[in-house]
Structure 1
Amino acid sequence: MKNFSLLILFVILITSCKIKINKNNLQEDIFVDHVNPFLGTGGHGHTYPGATVPFGMLQVSPDNGVSSWDWCSGYHYSDSIVAGFSHLHLSGTGIGDLTDILFMPTNKKVDLTVKTTSRDQLPYKSSYSHANEKASPGYYQVYLEDPKINVELTSTQRTAFHKYTFAKEDKQAVVIDLGFAINWDKALKTALTIEDKYTISGYRFSTGWAKNQKVFFVAKFSKPISESVLTANQKIVSGTASEGEHTTAQLFFDAAGSDEVLVKVALSSVSIANAKDNLETENFNFENVKAKATTTWNTALNKITVETPVDSLKTIFYTAMYHTQLAPVTYSDKNGQFRKENDEIVTAKNYTAYSSLSLWDTFRAENPLLTLVAPDKVSDLVNSMLAYYDTKKILPVWTLYANETNTMTGYHSIPVIVDAYKKGIKGFDSEKAYTAMKTTMMQDERGLNLYKQYGFIPYNLLDESVTITLEYAYDDWCVAQMAKALGKNEDYQFFLNRSKAYQHLFDPKTGFMRGKSADGKSWNEPFDPKHSNHREQTDYTEGNAWQHSWFVPQDVEDFISLHGSNEVFAKRLEQLFTESSEITGSNVSADISGLIGQYAHGNEPSHHIAYMFNRAGQPWRTQYWVRHILDTQYNTTPNGLSGNEDCGQMSAWYVFSSMGLYPMNPASGEYEIGSPIFEKATINLQDGKTFVIEAENVSNKNFYIQSATLNGVPFNKTAITHQQIVQGGILHFVMGSEPNKNWGLTK
């Protein structure tokens, strides 16, 4: 009887374990199921729907073959033609490049000697329908209507996997086009080699946004190559190798035995040998690779869990979490090597080098978010920037394939480094980092000579003078904070004083930051705060005075005092959201989108502004406008983003704001409190701790904070520190339909 009881107990134990395991598996599946990779592929979102893993080296995705602004990622949801599937893509940028190493399956022999000037002339293009297209994290599928081929794509960190299913008894062929390019990109020198009956390799050197991009690749097929045609510069070449500005190949496979052709492809910035080293040794088990990609994404998406009865909010949130982990991208090879812009080959020792650093965008919220959801990646990012500094003796601005593009204003690698240091992230040399920051801000490039000479940048000496001055002032404040932390008091005072440069440009009569001439007295006239001129003969970058006059996150109290009082400041801030949305000028920046009044959520300079009411004694207006932005600027459709995704920043704003937090000053180590949209959000911290944000009674009408507690103790502040969050705990809000104008006024 005793043995029988033990047996029953054992069965119950095993059954309960099995139930628990199944329940856990079900829970894991939820995260990827809520992601819609097509969100942001329409409108001006500029995202791609293809397959990758978190921060992966490869982004294998469809290319429509169109050179136009809304096709910066290679793909736009409005299209119905596909040119092929290439292996490198940009997520949500405003400039187009990459789309390197294009593969396209076909069921017929095509003429690759025809010179093409548009995608309409491509002999291998195909139509497709969204009805026969699917995407999920780590997986993409589309049915090519013309050759009747089903294409599936998945990826590991450094290897892309293709699966082509042909119609029965159809000819089986794959085209590789190394001359394919869109937007700014242009192939300079390419080469293809058939190494054996299963393997091809080659390289593609190009210029574009990245002026010196070198991509080496290797591809292995599941079937032997039965026939091949190679071209160089539209001429067929004999043998097994071709080289030229534009090389292509069509490879044929025996249709007998299987309708499927599988391919795995690896790249390297260094060499074909390194590409081979990066290539997964696993055989062509596509489903296994796909399952691993799904598991990897589930783990990444699980860093923050949210609870809400509204499914659309889960879709927006988890898709935002997905987008925030597409970039930056792995750049160093499996052996640590990577190529610099000057063609020097270096080795990342004890870190992974990353590229696609869209710092003007991502320093605001994307990089602070990574300190919570991917802290293990942050020191690698800092070391990647310091490796760039080793070559240039200046920190990077916007790096693409290790090239400095010098796109946008400021040196915002600086706040990223300071944010990491202040949050206690280890793994980089803080003294070296400080030297790099100080050296960068003391050199003379990109208007710093004028900034040092005048204390601001005169509008008559450099375009975009207001934006550049405000951003250098912020970067100076960041250097000052690092200097203070390292005990460099003289440097602290120097950079802190220089960070007041914004004071020179504030016009108390109008309440705007304005262009001032080198005489230090006269303003740029005539003045129209709604006027925009894109990137030339303007005082503002991709915007106007309404959008750019609020960038003083480092000293909001002093900024408010320039306006005269909290009341005046808050009134002007309110007017930003209620003013007419007219933008004047004949060359208006296309980046001004997502307008609420003159507030432009579709571009990054506006992202911190709604949180400034907190500092002006009106936190309920922060709550109102943040909830309004959450409700109106994001949705679950391909048009679900109101502007360029910009390598995660547009989505990072949503991730933070939907939880009720935002890093208004991204290097302060603090988060402003807004209006949480979820009943419960749990941040799963690295050491097993959790920080839970609860919003009791929250709804589409109950978005005002009535009261709050932190770990059961009344909490009456409009900001919370990173250190408070990483210690774990519960921040509990009680929400209501009317503002509590007494909450949050404790300094």
Structure 2
Amino acid sequence: MLAVDYVNPLIGTIGHLLTSTSPTVTLPHGMIKLAPITTPGIKDTYLADRIFGFPAGCGFLMPTQDTAPADPASLSSQYDHDLEQATPYAYGVLLEDEGIEAEMTAARRSAHYRFRYPNPSAACLSVGFPANGSLTLLSERSALIQATLHDVPHFTYLVFSQPVERIGDWRSERDAGCMLRAAAKEGLLEVRAGISYIDGVQAQANLSGELEGRSFEQTKQAARDIWQDALSRIEVTGGSEEQRAIFYTSLYRSLINMSDIAEDGRYYSGYDRQIHESGERGFYVTDNIWDTYRCLHPLQQLLDPERKQDMIQSYVRMYEQSGWLPQFPFVQGDLPVMTGNHSAALIYDAYVKGYRNFDVAKAYEAMKVNATEITMLPWVHGPLTELDRHYLEHGYVPALRPGETEWVAEVDGFERRQSVAVTLEHAYDDWCIAQLARELGHMDDYAYFMRRSQNYRKLYNEANGFMSPRSADGEWVESFDPKYGGGLGGRDYFSECNAWIYSFHVQHDIEGLIELMGGPAKFEERLDALFTEQYGDSKYRFLGQFPDATGLIGQYCQGNEPAFHIPYLYNYTASPWKTQRRLREIMKLWYQATPTGICGDEDNGAMSSWYVFSAMGFYPVCPGKASYEIGSPLFERTEIALGGGRTFTIVAEGVSERNKYVQAAAMNGVPLTEPRIRHEDAAAGGVLTLKMGDRPNKAWGAAGEAGPYASMDNA
């Protein structure tokens, strides 16, 4: 069975919290993304009872047998998942109300639709678009939709396989549209759509360049081949059918993030509202950097480093056009959500691994601007505030005391200060900036940002053993509860999680954190407690305050990204076997091949990329350090095609559901005494061999007195 055939896009279509996934049809990093438009207000797409159409750029299509529906704006149909086919490359469904078979597939900047009508003489197509848009019928076989969404111009050029005529128009509060009658011979109508952010001529060129002369089946097969090529870069042997389905579905989700919107050497930028020349490089948008810097970007980088460098250069271009590095770059520009300056981690992680085909000097300039001239406040963009100035002087963002009224006008009323999270996350980002400063010879900057990278120490409270909030006068916030402190989502002090999680959020200096917590033995005890600590008087109360903390094992929450690296921290203690045990538990409990099979918000592939790495048996705990922690692989053999004829292979001898513990390890035949490998060894095409057993080898990989990186210079 091919890798592409294991993918099930319906996994995760019932969410554990905010949003679910959708059965998205696209190409890896494609500009166009298609999923059925389902019942408004039902966020769990699998549970939606009706389909209202199929997206076509800035428009949408809905076939119907009625030449004059009473309310075209609410035209929809019931559907049945048992009569649905969802793959990465195509989607098909029976619209049960009128018996119409609808299918769609995609190229990079265009889409192809096929509708089969049971009554050809009554074949119609409703074409909707935003209320500010318009549709011009250019001929009996072509049309152009123009609209503006989020201040971005959108153009969709449509071509029909059969003549159509406009028989009416409709309008609702949000949308407008027209009704077309189609001369659907034998009940078949195909529609091709090309999209553009530049103009209608470019939309037509995008369509012609990709789909002209292609049948629906040819477009579908081409998309299938592209996905098979992308997914087969990782070939796994062994494991169960379900594990392979979860793995390849997770890999598919990991390759959607960041879409190339360059169109024949040009792109529209939402950062200065201008059209630019792109040259031979793409321009990539749509990223959730707070979520994706941790493991999604490192995974994409391992599989396709050339593309990753183009993505980083896109960030540099966004900085040149807007004056700062975006946090959540989208087509329309940046959405300054969440916390941190994590593009610094994305950039330095590529640099330290030897990938430097981007404007490094400009990237460093941008990292420094974000760190010194832009407010650190979550969900806010603007100049420095008094809270930032306090941070620059004292090394931490001050917290409000319970009952104290917020007086800083720039603070978002819902997201609050998140004082501890902001301090900790920026300490890590500043470490990344410091490392690049050193590489570029900016030694004064290196010293400055290294001092800032130690600011996490300012918030470690030895009295309670947790990262804790401090008020502006330097005093600890009274009566702080590490479990329940911080209000809804912990947002007074944290970001969606509590102190139990954020006390381990020191990716760049785990050795220093271990020292603060009293040494490796005490650190291990704290990790043990994290996975067993309960919810106080009521789990109901806990989830009511921390709804984002899904995928719970004790206080550990797999469903939220700040927890991702924590199971691997046992590798810094005398018990790396506990990393192996916890990882298997997490993968078994919280990832399944079902609509509820992703335990948190997917966030553009963040949850899925964690699974891909962990199922392969290694993980990047600290992007910016060119090494990976060893975990517990699921598969007997994993082969990662790195390009240039190089393949990184992980061989897990004797692995099974029971045999989850590493007994011994070797890299290229050389025994490993530490539970980690260098990126350079993997990227050169090495072979990692793990001997697995059903009981832990408690002697293997244990950190000695010299520390976990004793034999890994510059790791």
Shorter-chain TM-score above 0.5:
yes
Which of 113, 136, 144 is the matching residue for 2:95? 144
One-letter identity of the residue aligned with 1:124: L
Which of 183, 208, 211 is the matching residue for 1:254? 183
Give the match's secondary structure for 2:112: strand
One-letter identity of the residue aligned with 1:80: D
Once the two structures are superposed, the pairs formed by residues 259-658 of structure 1 within 5 Å of their partners are 259-279=187-207, 280-447=210-377, 448-460=388-400, 463-523=417-477, 525-531=479-485, 533-534=487-488, 538-581=492-535, 582=539, 584=541, 588-658=545-615
CA contact (8 A) 1:532 1:543 kept: no
One-letter identity of the residue aligned with 1:194: L
Give the match's secondary structure for 2:46: coil
State the 1:360 CA deviation.
Answer: 0.4
One-letter identity of the residue aligned with 1:335: G
Q: Which residue of 2 aligns with 1:41?
A: 13
In the alignment, the residues of structure 2 paired with residue 583 and residue 523 of structure 1 have an alpha-carbon distance, to the nearest angstrom, of 26
CA contact (8 A) 1:222 1:284 kept: no
Render the CA deviation track for 1:167-219: whole Å, top value 9, x for unaligned. Answer: 1435111111213xxxxxxx6x2122111111111222234xxxx34322111
Which of 189, 197, 203 is the matching residue for 2:146? 203
State the 1:392 CA deviation.
Answer: 2.2
| TM-score scaled by length of structure 2 | 0.91
State the 1:528 CA deviation.
Answer: 4.2
Gaps of 5+ in 1: 1-28, 89-99, 115-121, 180-186, 235-244
Q: Which residue of 1 aligns with 2:667?
A: 710
Which of 91, 97, 101 is the matching residue for 2:59? 101
Give the match's secondary structure for 1:578: coil
Change (3 A) 1:524 1:228: farther
Q: Which residue of 1 aligns with 2:403?
A: none
In the alignment, the residues of structure 1 paired with residue 170 and residue 478 of structure 2 have an alpha-carbon distance, to the nearest angstrom, of 57
One-letter identity of the residue aligned with 2:23: P
Q: Give aligned pairs, total.
A: 673
One-letter identity of the residue aligned with 1:506: Y
In the alignment, the residues of structure 2 paired with residue 366 and residue 495 of structure 1 have an alpha-carbon distance, to the nearest angstrom, of 26
One-letter identity of the residue aligned with 2:66: K
Render the CA deviation track for 1:671-699: whole Å, top value 9, x for unaligned. Answer: 11111111111111111111111111111
Q: Which residue of 1 aligns with 2:118?
A: 167
Render the CA deviation track for 1:265-290: whole Å, top value 9, x for unaligned. Answer: 12122222221221134235010011
State the 1:617 CA deviation.
Answer: 2.5
Change (3 A) 1:507 1:565: same
| TM-score scaled by length of structure 1 | 0.87
State the 1:334 CA deviation.
Answer: 2.7
RMSD of Structure 2 on Structure 1 (CA): 1.9
State the 1:586 CA deviation.
Answer: 8.8
Give the match's secondary structure for 1:494: helix
Q: Which residue of 2 aligns with 1:57?
A: 31
In the alignment, the residues of structure 2 paired with residue 724 and residue 146 of structure 1 have an alpha-carbon distance, to the nearest angstrom, of 58
Change (3 A) 1:344 1:587: farther
In the alignment, the residues of structure 2 paired with residue 291 and residue 223 of structure 1 have an alpha-carbon distance, to the nearest angstrom, of 23
Give the match's secondary structure for 2:639: strand
Single out whichever of 393-402 and 577-586 deviates more from structure 2.
577-586
Single out whichever of 472-481 and 590-599 deviates more from structure 2.
590-599
Name the % identity: 34
Give the match's secondary structure for 2:340: coil
State the 1:110 CA deviation.
Answer: 4.1
Gaps of 5+ in 2: 378-387, 401-407, 409-415, 704-709, 711-715
In the alignment, the residues of structure 2 paired with residue 635 and residue 729 of structure 1 have an alpha-carbon distance, to the nearest angstrom, of 31
State the 1:295 CA deviation.
Answer: 0.6
Give the match's secondary structure for 1:287: helix
Change (3 A) 1:717 1:159: same
One-letter identity of the residue aligned with 1:383: Q
In the alignment, the residues of structure 1 paired with residue 8 and residue 145 of structure 2 have an alpha-carbon distance, to the nearest angstrom, of 34
CA contact (8 A) 1:531 1:584 kept: no
State the 1:576 CA deviation.
Answer: 0.8
CA contact (8 A) 2:490 2:498 kept: no
One-letter identity of the residue aligned with 2:169: L
In the alignment, the residues of structure 1 paired with residue 489 and residue 144 of structure 2 have an alpha-carbon distance, to the nearest angstrom, of 41
One-letter identity of the residue aligned with 2:637: K
In the alignment, the residues of structure 2 paired with residue 139 and residue 701 of structure 1 have an alpha-carbon distance, to the nearest angstrom, of 37
Render the CA deviation track for 1:479-507: whole Å, top value 9, x for unaligned. Answer: 01111111221111111110011101111
Q: Which residue of 2 aligns with 1:7?
A: none
In the alignment, the residues of structure 1 paired with residue 121 and residue 653 of structure 2 have an alpha-carbon distance, to the nearest angstrom, of 60
Render the CA deviation track for 1:59-82: whole Å, top value 9, x for unaligned. Answer: 1110113235x35xxxx1112211
In the alignment, the residues of structure 2 paired with residue 222 and residue 398 of structure 1 have an alpha-carbon distance, to the nearest angstrom, of 39
State the 1:232 CA deviation.
Answer: 5.2
State the 1:247 CA deviation.
Answer: 2.4
In the alignment, the residues of structure 2 paired with residue 605 and residue 409 of structure 1 have an alpha-carbon distance, to the nearest angstrom, of 11
In the alignment, the residues of structure 2 paired with residue 522 and residue 123 of structure 1 have an alpha-carbon distance, to the nearest angstrom, of 56
